[in-house]
Structure 1
Amino acid sequence: MAWRDAKASRVRLLLFMASIILGIAAVVSIQLFSINLKDNIQLQSKALMGADYIIDSRKQPTERAQAIIDSLNPDASEVNFVSMIAFPKSGGTKLVKVRALKGDFPFYGTIDTEPASAASTYQDSGGALVDATLLLQFDIQPGDSIKVGELTLPIAGALKAIPGTTAISTSVAPSVIIPNRFVESTELLQFGSRKEYQFFYKASDTLNLSQFEEKINPMLEAENSDLDTHTSTSERLGNRYDNVGKFLYLAAFIALLLGCVGIASSVHIYIKEKLRAIAVLKCMGASRKQSFLIFLIQIAGIGVTGGLVGSLIGVGLQVLFPYILQEFLPFAVEISISFQPILIGVFLGLFMSVLFALLPLLRTWYVSPLEVLRINEKASQGPKKARFFVFAGILIFLFLFSLWLLEDILYAFGFVGATLITFAVLAGTALLSMKLIRTYFPKRWGFISRQSLLNLFRPNNQTVVLVVAIGLGTFLISTLYFTKDILLAKTDIEQSAETANMIILDLQTDQRDAVEQQLIENDLPTLDNISLVTMRMQKIKDQQVNEIRQDSTSQIRGWILNHEFRTTYRDTLIDSEEIIEGEWIPELESGDPVKISISDNLAEDAKLRVGDAVVFNVQGVLMETTVGSIRKVDWGQIQLNFSIVFPKGVLEKAPQFNVITTAVPDEEASAKLQRNLVAKFPNVSVIDLRQVYTILEDILDKISWIINFMAFFSILTGIIVLIGSVRTSKYQRIKESVLLRTLGAKNTQILKITALEYLFLGLLGSLVGILLALVSSFCLALLVFKEPFVPSLIPFLVFLPGITLLVLVIGLSNIQTVLRSSPLEVLRKEG
């Protein structure tokens, strides 16, 4: 019976199955990729780092830090810094990261070179390993030479890969590896030069790295050094893609929830139309159990089939993600496909279809044989206790599913709570609108208008079901769109003729005028000439920094106590800054108390307010200051931003170095300037931001593609659910439309009555859904993604009329059978 009835209702059941398929496909593909990514990170964390743990320091380690480093007996070490290098053969120059290695690094993974032997011989032969892409770019071969500062070395081989680098870092500053013994000969490590010392260790299998890190790291942090293990590196790698991952999980959750809504609304109307047939079966002797199982088997079969098809699609989809993400993942993700996701998909399809169909299915249990004779089609809803258990089961399923997907109990509660509130608001809106229409019914309106309004609250109405289905679909689709905008808001990189696209770093004070003259000779502007002064905090309010370090109850963040701040001084704010508290002090006279401006994140982490005192150690000289203002800084802008800004008249005589920014019109002008600068000032580093813009745009394009694809995927699911919900509602109005035709109503009148009804339902449901989406998206931006929210007009301008029109078109297509055929023919066909 289940099979025969399903064949007769295959169009409605196929729409029902489509929502299951798309929901399961989204969940399986995203979950599978997430699992594969985490597994690969854990498996390759040692190979990514090249060691079990690393100790690093941004400057020459202190005596105590060096004693700790030596006591642990490092197996290898390096000093690395960013610098310009030159190729004497071609005259080309490039900003690179120089890694001066000592020892047999890496211990895990390999240095991949061409020729392969260069990785093991460059230390003894005294050659350099140069990034392979860089050699191709400048048409250089192994055997040619490279100039690093004042040192010229032969190129031993092309460097293809080394642990500790990514595609992004090597694109911005390609790696050049040289033997450590040649560092002093480069003469590049001068005052203000940015450098990092790293010490690599291979641990025994018995060492507990987590406990070891907890014990050693506080001692190193007190000495401005840091310990990093391969396990903490794998955690950070997982967190790097956090917001994109959250969005993908949100898309999967929404796609599945849309599928659940499609199941509930479709089965509700489908079963409502089957009540008369069930009553006939019971008249012929069918038991409650038999009539219930007929439709339960149908729903379960569709759930299993939909789950299986959705799982197979999901497995196929997740293979695309590594291909899209390969440019900004630090390793190639190996995809392993097993039967587990297919089994999960089939189980989800079966469980969610049966669970969300159970409430309308309960009605089959309580249908009386007398329903055959009764005109009133309102059947028993079943006892409240049974419905309560079904509702409880649905809530538990949603909570457990969201907890499994999001792995955060607060987020899970939040999603379930938001879903309940949305259902309640939509159902309440539908019931309130019915009550208002009934109370203030326009009795003087024409027949067509009155008939369409009557359809909204008379028995057998579909107002609540369709407003909830349309509203929830629109809500989820709009939420996804608003959320997509939140994540993509930072992908627009604005560039103009006045925007700095080249930064000249590490200028000594006596080189500043000569570099500016060089820019003038090349017809390039000096956009910024910024002086940098390095300092550390010595005292915060009335407490010494060393005392705060030892105070376990202190709320001040640890990085504040150990950080070497690069500060500047100026008399104006820049575009990325805004005063949110206090008063901006542009300049001070000699003898005035020093009032500084700090960023809002520094104020929060250091627990500082306007008027608080801070003492800085400026190259051995203590300087007393007071917080004069707090600035909100947009760190997302690609320009030089500072946590601490001094007014003019304070730091001019302090030891300092400079940064100059300019704007170059094209690649030829950029190359010419870099060649001239490197030839005259070998210690200077140049960052060509045009390359950074290109790399960032490429990465963001890939992220945008995934976000847009998953948004489209879930929106498509929502549209199919809406089509299914509205399509199955046609059986609500067929008999009434046939009766109207029998009484003499014209086709145009029936069309207008139906159009007005569906227009009202579509407009009400989609408008409330979009308004709810605004609220939910604001909460997501604030609490989950921690990004600013600027709502788009697209949902109001496109989704609102688009979904209303879609509902109207489907609603009108529902009665085409009535309009094309005679009333008797329609009744026989539907019977």
Structure 2
Amino acid sequence: MAWRDGKASARKLFLFMASIVMGIGALVSIQSFGDNLTDNISQQSKSLMGADYIIDSNHPPNEKVAGIIDSLGGEEGKEISFVSMVAFPKNGATKLAQVRGIAGDFPFYGSLETEPEEAGSLYQSTGKVLVDGTVMLQYRLKPGDSIKIGTSTLEIAGSLKMVPGRSAISSSIAPAIFMPYDLIEATGLLQRGSRVNYSYYFLATPSMDLEKLYEDLDPVLDAEGADMDTHLDTSRNMGRSYSNFGKFLNLVAFIALLLGCVGIASAIHIYIREKLSDVAVLKCIGATRKQTFLIYLLQIAVLGIFGGIAGAALGIMVQQLAPLLLQDLLPVDIEISISGTAVLTGVLLGFFMAVLFALLPLVKTWFVSPLHVLRAVERPGRSSLGVRLGIIGSIFFFILLFSFWLLDDINYSVAFVLGILVTFALLVGLSSLLMRMLKNYFPLKWGFCTRQSIRNLHRPNNQTTTLILAIGVGTFLISTLYFTKDILLSKLTVDRNEESPNIILLDVQRTQTEEVADAILPKGLPVIDNIPIITMRVHGINGQTISEIRKDSTSRVGRWVMNHEFRVTYRDSLIASETVRDGTWTGSVSSDTLVPISVAENFANDARVKVGDRVVFNVQGVLINTLIGSIREVDWGRLQLNFSVVFPEGVLEKAPQFNVLTTNAPDEATSASLQRELVRKFPNVSIIDLRQMLNIIENILNKISWVINFMALFSILTGIVVLIASVRTSKYQRVRESVMLRTIGARGRQIRKITLLEYVFLGVLGSFSGIVLSLVSSVLLARFVFEVPFVPSVIPFIVLLPAIVTLVVLIGLANSRSVIQSPPMEVLRKEVS
């Protein structure tokens, strides 16, 4: 019976199966790609690091660290790296780059892809450099041209096409310059205060246990200001970095699946209403409740299985596009393969979701009375409240379990389910309120076509709620993504007024401060800030030294606090990005016996300190006792210099230090001219143009946003499928209405106008509701998560709203063509038969 009845009803249910196919396809493609990414990161972890393990530090190794390196058999390769301005004499251009001085055959895994190909193996022996390929194209450079790094001018051996472990995004922020290790000293850039990293690369022997080696050596190296990392750590860290992005995309796909399930529930609701007479007949001839229920449950179960299989196949095809979409964001080459886990998950999910969402309408067959076949007006018995609540509870429990599986955090999972519940409830409530208001308060003086289209929204068997859900949730998702992107960009805006710095000069030595200022002022530019910076480390917290804290297994002090070399400033006042949250700000002191300092919330939280606690800092061999006088909230998203630790004036003035100067260049030409002159006169000074940095950040966010919007497209497509299916499911009802209208004299043009107005109302209400809900959610995100003011964009209102409405109308009219063209006699004969 299930098979025979299903064949006859296949066309009615096909499009609703398609809505599940879209959701499963999105989920399988993302999960399968995520599995491939994890496997590839694990397999290529050695290539990402270039070695089996490294020891690195931001200062030359001391005697103990050097002894550890020797005990390991000595390094196979070493590197000095730092960020600096480089100049190209050919055209006078300058660029902020990551200079890497290499010794040895690094990388030991993977390879440097260069052009010409032999440049990667010859640049060290020939005393030449390799320059990032994009920079070569940008500044029209070719092998044989020269590059100035500090006080050294070197010949370019070739361009770098691929560097292990670096993505296109990281290369755009600080492109790599490879040069021989022995030539670094001659550049004159290794000065006091310079931010330099020393790395030593090792190959592991076949019998070496890297996990055990790490456990033994890392604590010892930490105590000496060094650090050890293995390729296994690289794999784990990168996996965690990309897992959050993957989880978010999984939720986007999951929402598409939920939207499809709403379509399934609606389809089965209408489908079962049409089958109630058949169920009554079956019961009259002896079929039991269980048999009639199982007939239609089997149909839905098979529908879910086939939907899951088809969705998995679609996901596998879409997965092939993932490397193209994400290639600029990933540091590894992805080899695509089919993930059995993702495919099995998709198939099972299609089955369970289809059955769960169909149970609520299906349970009506259980309570149909045989009298229903004799009395056409007999209403089917309603299922008990307990049964309905049990089914609804099962649906949300399943959603909660699945979201927990995706997010691995019960709080986020509960918040997600509540958010879905609230959004759906608001949209359902809004549609119910609309139908009630239209039914009771709609003006009777309006034209016939308008009155008829409005009444269609609350007629029996209407699809108003389903369509508003489909349109509203899809619009809500896309609008929220757009508004969230605006929030992220608002945290990274640069003020455009003349008093706000847009150029930062780093690593200015104390003796160069006046000369650098004299180079800025003649150009008519202001010196906005002259910030002194002193490097120091935490020596002890509340009477315990860092060594003692490391040995204390119960300590919860953050590792970075113990290992980090802090860059600290001193001043007498707060800046715009800071607010005192606890304690009292102290701007100056006359004694350095116990110095009241101000720390940022991130330092206070990770160091486990509060106002009144004591911290001892090691300032290049001199210990300074400090007292936490205040704790600041710092807006780290603002593109300006912020500090975790700020001293008052009167303590650090005589300490070894370097300075950071800021200015404001009104246009790109002035900025380029200033940078060229400063690099020529002061090669050790690094220059950051905040406008260029902002453009890079915006490009990154745009690429991520594009990927997210691509996945969100599945939700929109699912909504479209549900929309088409909803119209087709109620198609016969529309044919009957059309016949009745045409019988009493309505013309085809009037019927088309009625249909047009109905879908305009549905499109406007659904899309406008979705945008308004997304606006509210974005305001809450900005207020409680990002803690920034939010000025909404009008783009969703002027672009997305009319686009969705137009799409809804076109689909509605396209699916209503046969309704209008059906001859009245054909329908009347069907009614008689």
Q: Which moved more, 1:227-236 or 1:117-126?
A: 117-126
Shift of the alpha carbon at 1:369? Answer: 3.5
For residues 642 and 228 of structure 1, the distance between their equivalents in structure 2, rounded to whole angstroms, comes to 27
Aligned counterpart for 2:483 among listed residues 485, 496, 501: 485
Say yes or no: does 1:56 pair with 2:45: no
CA contact (8 A) 2:35 2:339 kept: no
For residues 574 and 686 of structure 1, the distance between their equivalents in structure 2, rounded to whole angstroms, comes to 22
1:689 aligned partner, one-letter code: L
Alignment of 1:291-330 (within 5 A): 291=292, 295-296=296-297, 298-300=299-301, 302-330=303-331
For residues 155 and 107 of structure 1, the distance between their equivalents in structure 2, rounded to whole angstroms, comes to 23
Which residue of structure 1 aligns with residue 198 of structure 2?
197
Alignment of 1:329-728 (within 5 A): 329-337=330-338, 345-364=346-365, 367-380=368-381, 394=395, 397-399=398-400, 401-408=402-409, 411-412=412-413, 415=416, 470=468, 474=472, 478=476, 481-482=479-480, 485-486=483-484, 488-492=486-490, 493-495=492-494, 496=496, 498=498, 499-589=500-590, 594-718=595-719, 720-721=721-722, 724=725, 728=729
CA deviation map 1:65-95 (0-9, x unaligned): 2222222232211111222334445544433
Cα distance 1:421–1:658, how it changes in 2: closer, same or farther (>3 A)? closer
Shift of the alpha carbon at 1:220? Answer: 1.4
Shift of the alpha carbon at 1:791? Answer: 9.5
Shift of the alpha carbon at 1:741? Answer: 12
User: The residue matched to 2:227 in structure 1 has which SS?
Assistant: strand
Alignment of 1:143-292 (within 5 A): 143-283=144-284, 291=292
User: The residue matched to 2:665 in structure 1 has which SS?
Assistant: coil
1:645 aligned partner, one-letter code: V
Which residue of structure 1 aligns with residue 122 of structure 2?
121
Cα distance 1:793–1:290, how it changes in 2: closer, same or farther (>3 A)? farther
Say yes or no: does 1:78 pair with 2:79: yes
CA deviation map 1:546-566 (0-9, x unaligned): 332222222221211222211
Shift of the alpha carbon at 1:724? Answer: 4.6
Shift of the alpha carbon at 1:175? Answer: 2.1
Cα distance 1:345–1:547, how it changes in 2: closer, same or farther (>3 A)? closer
CA contact (8 A) 1:475 1:770 kept: no
Shift of the alpha carbon at 1:506? Answer: 0.8
CA deviation map 1:12-63 (0-9, x unaligned): 4244233222212221222222222222212211111101111110112233
For residues 224 and 387 of structure 2, the distance between their equivalents in structure 1, rounded to whole angstroms, comes to 66
Alignment of 1:24-103 (within 5 A): 24-73=24-73, 74-103=75-104
CA contact (8 A) 2:739 2:827 kept: no
User: The residue matched to 2:336 in structure 1 has which SS?
Assistant: coil
Which residue of structure 2 aligns with residue 17 of structure 1?
17
Please report the RMSD computed on the Cα atoms of aligned residues, expressed in angstroms.
4.9
CA contact (8 A) 1:128 1:176 kept: yes
2:47 aligned partner, one-letter code: A
Q: Which moved more, 1:102-111 or 1:759-768?
A: 759-768
For residues 173 and 764 of structure 1, the distance between their equivalents in structure 2, rounded to whole angstroms, comes to 48
Alignment of 1:749-760 (within 5 A): none
Shift of the alpha carbon at 1:381? Answer: 5.6
Cα distance 1:483–1:214, how it changes in 2: closer, same or farther (>3 A)? farther
Shift of the alpha carbon at 1:373? Answer: 0.8
CA deviation map 1:232-287 (0-9, x unaligned): 21222233334432321111111111111211222022102211133235556777
CA deviation map 1:95-130 (0-9, x unaligned): 332222222211111122233223223333333333
CA contact (8 A) 1:476 1:773 kept: no
CA contact (8 A) 1:478 1:795 kept: no
For residues 800 and 143 of structure 1, the distance between their equivalents in structure 2, rounded to whole angstroms, comes to 56
Shift of the alpha carbon at 1:216? Answer: 2.0
For residues 811 and 538 of structure 1, the distance between their equivalents in structure 2, rounded to whole angstroms, comes to 71
Unaligned runs of 5+ in 2: none
User: The residue matched to 1:241 in structure 2 has which SS?
Assistant: helix
User: The residue matched to 2:44 in structure 1 has which SS?
Assistant: helix
User: The residue matched to 2:711 in structure 1 has which SS?
Assistant: helix
CA contact (8 A) 1:502 1:687 kept: yes
Q: TM-score, normalised by structure 1?
A: 0.83
For residues 818 and 769 of structure 1, the distance between their equivalents in structure 2, rounded to whole angstroms, comes to 31
CA deviation map 1:423-482 (0-9, x unaligned): 789889999999x99xxx99xx99x9xx9999999xx9779x975885697467536643
For residues 745 and 146 of structure 2, the distance between their equivalents in structure 1, rounded to whole angstroms, comes to 96
User: The residue matched to 1:682 in structure 2 has which SS?
Assistant: coil
CA deviation map 1:740-765 (0-9, x unaligned): 999999x9xx9999999999999999
2:533 aligned partner, one-letter code: L
For residues 112 and 677 of structure 2, the distance between their equivalents in structure 1, rounded to whole angstroms, comes to 33
User: The residue matched to 1:566 in structure 2 has which SS?
Assistant: strand
Shift of the alpha carbon at 1:328? Answer: 2.6
For residues 762 and 688 of structure 1, the distance between their equivalents in structure 2, rounded to whole angstroms, comes to 46
Cα distance 1:779–1:252, how it changes in 2: closer, same or farther (>3 A)? farther
Cα distance 1:720–1:619, how it changes in 2: closer, same or farther (>3 A)? same
Q: Which moved more, 1:616-625 or 1:303-312?
A: 303-312
For residues 685 and 700 of structure 1, the distance between their equivalents in structure 2, rounded to whole angstroms, comes to 25
For residues 188 and 260 of structure 2, the distance between their equivalents in structure 1, rounded to whole angstroms, comes to 65
Shift of the alpha carbon at 1:134? Answer: 3.2
User: The residue matched to 1:698 in structure 2 has which SS?
Assistant: helix
Aligned length: 825
Cα distance 1:258–1:102, how it changes in 2: closer, same or farther (>3 A)? same
Q: Which moved more, 1:255-264 or 1:758-767?
A: 758-767
CA deviation map 1:702-738 (0-9, x unaligned): 1111222333431442454366558757889999999
CA contact (8 A) 1:482 1:777 kept: yes
For residues 153 and 754 of structure 1, the distance between their equivalents in structure 2, rounded to whole angstroms, comes to 74
For residues 183 and 808 of structure 1, the distance between their equivalents in structure 2, rounded to whole angstroms, comes to 67
2:504 aligned partner, one-letter code: I
1:478 aligned partner, one-letter code: F
Cα distance 1:179–1:594, how it changes in 2: closer, same or farther (>3 A)? same
User: The residue matched to 2:56 in structure 1 has which SS?
Assistant: strand
Unaligned runs of 5+ in 1: none
Q: TM-score, normalised by structure 2?
A: 0.82
For residues 657 and 789 of structure 1, the distance between their equivalents in structure 2, rounded to whole angstroms, comes to 35
Cα distance 1:17–1:513, how it changes in 2: closer, same or farther (>3 A)? same
User: The residue matched to 1:41 in structure 2 has which SS?
Assistant: helix
Identity level (%): 52
CA deviation map 1:301-321 (0-9, x unaligned): 544554454344433333333
